[in-house]
Amino acid sequence: MTADEEIGTIKFPISEAFKYSLESISKRFTRAAITAVSVLLGIAFLVTLLTMSAILKGRGEAPAAYQYWMVIIALLVCGVGIVNSMLMSVTERYKEIGTIKCLGATDGSVLEIFLIEAFLLGILGGTLGAIIGWVSAIVIYGVQLGWSFVFYPGALAEYLYYIGLSIVIAAGLSVVAAAYPAVYAAKLKPAEALRYEV
């Protein structure tokens, strides 16, 4: 045993934390779906605006500045929704958190579980939102302006960049928004968590 290891702690590899997070998402599917949909809507709006901006740039036009502010507000609302959802998830799982901490799980292990869960929901919502937003913008502008305006030379690479960027933003936003609930869960004292009644 090294000096860094605490007596009475268990090793909780990242693969186990990942499995535990997936199980938690499947057990609380409705709450997870609502969280993923809030990410999906914010990211769909972002990708639609970015795609629209790229298409209009080819025509010498640009979206109004207020639209970017609308995207920022939509992402902030999405972040608040994630914080709320994750706090409710922590509240529902007090006894579960208390049990795994009594079995030797460290604060870091509990933190990992909640952050991985948020990351997975962010990736899921972000991927679906990016695809839906991109397809919506392409179809709307393809019908209105013609497909040659939508698929100009180099357009696909630009669209893929926006989709990738949006997925990274979704994952980052989800993890940042879940940080406070995850730290709160990690700091719970096992005895208090086990006594808590929902």
Cα 108 from chain centroid? 20
**Residue 169 is assigned to a structural domain of this protein:** yes
pTM confidence score:
0.83
Q: What is the total count of domains within the chain?
A: 1
Q: Where on the phi/psi map is residue 10: left (φ > 0), alpha (ψ -120 to 50), or beta?
A: beta
Instruction: Decide if 98 is inside a domain.
Output: yes
Q: What pLDDT, in 10s, does the model give residues 80-111?
A: 988 988 888 888 888 888 888 887 778 888 88
Quick: pLDDT tens for 146-170: 888 888 888 889 999 999 999 999 9
Residue 51 in domain: yes
For the purposes of burial, counting CB atoms within 10 Å of the CB of 142, is it exposed (0-12), middle (13-18) or buried (19 or more)? middle
In a domain, residue 197? The reply is no
Per-residue pLDDT 10s for the chain (198 aa) are: 454 455 555 667 788 888 888 888 888 888 889 889 989 999 999 999 988 888 888 777 776 777 778 888 888 988 998 898 888 888 888 888 888 888 777 888 888 989 999 999 999 999 999 999 999 999 998 888 888 888 888 888 999 999 999 999 999 999 999 999 999 888 888 877 777 665
- In a domain, residue 41? The reply is yes
Q: Is residue 24 part of a domain?
A: yes
**What's the rounded Cα separation, in Å, for the pair 77 and 39?**
10
Residue 142, CB-side half-sphere exposure with 13 Å CA sphere = 10
d(CA 114, CA 117): 5
Range of the domain at 41: 14-192
